Structure 1
């Protein structure tokens, strides 16, 4: 271990001389920024005290965020939002499950999805690398580029789905006076404002933004309970129900595990001696508790659409925004209820911030030349793309959300299968096996042939098990009247077999 430490120290000094001349850390002085010849965007961002660091290694001197509470509240705020509520409602309105069935599905699939987010967050303090960059050591350069491209698309998709649910609420609160595009624009601009300043500003915002959201959700619970509109259907078994449970479970899993491919992005400034067990527990609770709480609340409120015609019509016309408005405003809190709706709509900002921050880091990983484009610029570009998509998709929110969440679960299952296999089997679960200072040296990580083959195997599993409105896999269609989505389970298994079978040969004959 002593030899290894000495070797790392030497390697770090060598790496600094090679790599860091092209970057400036977020705490760099004005002189340092000028010396590194950063482009005008980063110089401008630096003057505004924004983070200018991109995908480069976070050094020990920069690891100043020792608060585990910061790490936990990051995900607490991001999940205590209206988009989570909207997803929970799908279990009743789309998949026709009894409330109890929806609850059990939420509890189980959220747990397995949230596990990987908390687990990979522990890589940030130890390695000091962003999630896509550290993945190079596990699944190879080529495979990481594939996932980085998908990640960029997914971040835009996440942003669009989240904004649509809030834009619906803003639209109905203003009695249609605020057009959908204007609501979407407001939310995008607020997201840009926070993500522009980077890591520390994001953690500061997320540390407190959950408080007003929680207060509004408690008010929502009280008002809903007073209506006596809760209705729980009886459990119905059979193949069709099983298929619906699997399909809703895939949707929940896609939401719960959606942060996995950028988990370490939000812990890289934690010191290397951080207690990883404590960090894991804090993040898991911080993400699991609010997710399950709000998903179940969404399912509970959605049961009223089965018995209350007025609420059902409002949901049909305005989706989840109409449902929340019916609970908080109509024959309820009136003006104050409208204020609550606005606060709840703005909660989406906390959920979109991680997506619009990490989209820049994923884009910089796709291609070496992309890393020269500042993180701030990528953030603005990503928000622009989100705005362009969410406005037309606004009118098809329910189907867009269901299909998008399922697609997210597919590719993340493949990613998790490959990365977990590599770390636990080929790296034997040891952080010291990663020569993280050489993250830009292609000789220090695999080419990615095994990872790419595993990815292709995972895609084959998706094709067999997916259940979408536009395509139903051979295996999926065997489950009940409407099919059952088991694509992410098959994707995980197929990718695991394909990767671990070929990794031996890649390691032996290539590198």
Structure 2
């Protein structure tokens, strides 16, 4: 394509922005009228909510230059009860010694947090949301596949997180607050924050970690005073290796789960923002709370073995019962119940990124869906979460959790394709993309190589996954209970399939 045609296409891309979408994060009444956005955006703009969806964030709009805001976004989202619950699984489900669980947590958290921090560096330079950015690296078709999966994952994980917190609210009130009411409260709180968009989300996440941290410190003190901590000796062997891999897969999936949202929360950073600083700010914002709370959850779970009452509460109410045992019974009583309520509400901080990015993924999946405002998608996503989590709480909670564990495998495949494209085919150059042509299909691959790589990755996942309802042919060979190597195989198979087929796509197709 010659230079003249490139200029014409670029002008068309900018023309699309100017005509069909608001040109700023919080459009004025005049802008809303001029751009003919529907009544939802007009209503949102009057409330000073962000009306921008998947359009490129312009240089004039890039007014957020705080590294602290970038770091606390993820610090708050992970300093929550869901993280605590995951850490406990290393002891209660996978049967590891506390020291073994700690090593797994540190190693797999670091791997998972890396890609979130790395792809966050694209936000300032590109001004594009993560799924839109993916068009340039893995192609149009593949981007749509991941956008669709992302919508399901955002809603599904939102439901799973809310069920755990609703359980805690239920036990704290001695059953007076029905689970459906707890779900409704948490969803409404999430809607309020996600409705207003990027800047209000960052403002909320900037401070909401403080009460959560205080509660977790209180848990540390009360647990230490209980004297119930136990640390078993290390046990080797194939079965332990399988448990390490399975627990590590779970930790990795949780830590890296934000990768498909990464640049969504840095797009308002100026283009000249130091990428190294962005990377380490976000890596620290992820790694520190995850390691801290995961290890705390594992430590507290060791007390179940030495106290029959704690074991009973955990069996009947899962992690909510464990927290209740530490903070309320024979402990802080009324104040402990208050702490449990605050901790239950911490789920809002974790669900906010899910619901905000879900809207952006829905708009990316199919062009006509981009005409539905982000605000409307946010409300619809929260509604879908509520519709799922209430019946799931009563009927199929375990099925829901198993399904979401299966969904999380797509992250390793996505990262393999994205890293391959950027580091190999674009030689790691962040400016090697015509970002302003994000709506011009001739500016990025069709996605045949990405789709083939995705299919190869799925094949790797199938033979390497180890769930309660299915174990792959390779996974079941590792120890007595098998070992989950789906992320590793999914990454490797996708890497090979994508890079081999990309040669053909680049040479013969586009």
Equivalent-residue separation in structure 1 for 2:208 and 2:57 (angstroms): 26
What's the counterpart of residue 158 of structure 1?
157
What's the counterpart of residue 346 of structure 1?
345
Equivalent-residue separation in structure 1 for 2:268 and 2:32 (angstroms): 20
Residue in structure 2 matching 1:15, options 13, 16, 31: 13
What's the counterpart of residue 484 of structure 1?
483
Equivalent-residue separation in structure 1 for 2:80 and 2:407 (angstroms): 19
On the 8 A contact 1:418/1:495 being kept in 2, the answer is yes
What's the counterpart of residue 380 of structure 1?
379
Equivalent-residue separation in structure 1 for 2:148 and 2:154 (angstroms): 10
Equivalent-residue separation in structure 2 for 1:262 and 1:217 (angstroms): 27
Please report how far the alpha carbon of residue 30 of structure 1 lies from its aligned counterpart in structure 2 after TM superposition: 1.1
On the 8 A contact 1:164/1:397 being kept in 2, the answer is no
* Alignment deviations for residues 147-173 of structure 1 (CA, whole Å, 9 cap, x no partner): 000000000111011111111110011
What's the counterpart of residue 38 of structure 1?
37
On the 8 A contact 1:92/1:299 being kept in 2, the answer is yes
The answer to whether 1:502 aligns with 2:485 is no
Equivalent-residue separation in structure 1 for 2:401 and 2:474 (angstroms): 20
Please report how far the alpha carbon of residue 306 of structure 1 lies from its aligned counterpart in structure 2 after TM superposition: 1.1
Please report how far the alpha carbon of residue 365 of structure 1 lies from its aligned counterpart in structure 2 after TM superposition: 0.6
Equivalent-residue separation in structure 1 for 2:450 and 2:131 (angstroms): 14
RMSD of aligned alpha carbons: 1.7
What's the counterpart of residue 278 of structure 1?
277
Equivalent-residue separation in structure 1 for 2:463 and 2:144 (angstroms): 25
What's the counterpart of residue 240 of structure 2?
241
SS of aligned partner of 1:328: helix
The 5 Å alignment of 1:16-415 reads 16-24=14-22, 25-395=24-394, 399=398, 403-404=402-403, 406-415=405-414
Identify unmatched segments of 5+ residues in structure 1.
none
On the 8 A contact 2:455/2:494 being kept in 1, the answer is yes
On the 8 A contact 2:170/2:177 being kept in 1, the answer is yes
Bigger shift: residues 459-468 or 24-33: 24-33
Equivalent-residue separation in structure 1 for 2:474 and 2:494 (angstroms): 17
Equivalent-residue separation in structure 2 for 1:169 and 1:428 (angstroms): 49
Q: 1:460 to 1:149 in 2, by over 3 A?
A: same
* Alignment deviations for residues 90-120 of structure 1 (CA, whole Å, 9 cap, x no partner): 1111111111111111101110000000000
On the 8 A contact 1:171/1:177 being kept in 2, the answer is yes
Please report how far the alpha carbon of residue 174 of structure 1 lies from its aligned counterpart in structure 2 after TM superposition: 0.3
| Structure 1 length-normalised TM | 0.97
| Structure 2 length-normalised TM | 0.97
On the 8 A contact 2:26/2:49 being kept in 1, the answer is no
Please report how far the alpha carbon of residue 12 of structure 1 lies from its aligned counterpart in structure 2 after TM superposition: 5.9
Please report how far the alpha carbon of residue 300 of structure 1 lies from its aligned counterpart in structure 2 after TM superposition: 0.4
SS of aligned partner of 1:65: coil
On the 8 A contact 1:257/1:409 being kept in 2, the answer is no
Please report how far the alpha carbon of residue 399 of structure 1 lies from its aligned counterpart in structure 2 after TM superposition: 4.1
Instruction: Give the 4+ runs in structure 1 shifted more than 3 A.
Output: 6-15, 395-402
Please report how far the alpha carbon of residue 233 of structure 1 lies from its aligned counterpart in structure 2 after TM superposition: 1.6
Equivalent-residue separation in structure 2 for 1:283 and 1:39 (angstroms): 35
On the 8 A contact 1:148/1:365 being kept in 2, the answer is yes
Equivalent-residue separation in structure 1 for 2:8 and 2:107 (angstroms): 46
* Alignment deviations for residues 220-267 of structure 1 (CA, whole Å, 9 cap, x no partner): 100000000111122111111111111111110010000000100000
Please report how far the alpha carbon of residue 20 of structure 1 lies from its aligned counterpart in structure 2 after TM superposition: 2.4
On the 8 A contact 2:13/2:438 being kept in 1, the answer is no
SS of aligned partner of 2:436: helix
Q: 1:263 to 1:346 in 2, by over 3 A?
A: same
Q: 1:59 to 1:402 in 2, by over 3 A?
A: same
Identify unmatched segments of 5+ residues in structure 2.
none
SS of aligned partner of 1:258: helix
Please report how far the alpha carbon of residue 406 of structure 1 lies from its aligned counterpart in structure 2 after TM superposition: 3.4
On the 8 A contact 1:254/1:408 being kept in 2, the answer is no
On the 8 A contact 2:160/2:389 being kept in 1, the answer is yes
Equivalent-residue separation in structure 1 for 2:56 and 2:336 (angstroms): 47
SS of aligned partner of 1:433: coil
Equivalent-residue separation in structure 1 for 2:218 and 2:123 (angstroms): 37
Give the paired residue count.
507
Equivalent-residue separation in structure 1 for 2:466 and 2:13 (angstroms): 48
* Alignment deviations for residues 376-399 of structure 1 (CA, whole Å, 9 cap, x no partner): 111111111111222233258984
Equivalent-residue separation in structure 2 for 1:404 and 1:107 (angstroms): 26
On the 8 A contact 2:160/2:401 being kept in 1, the answer is no
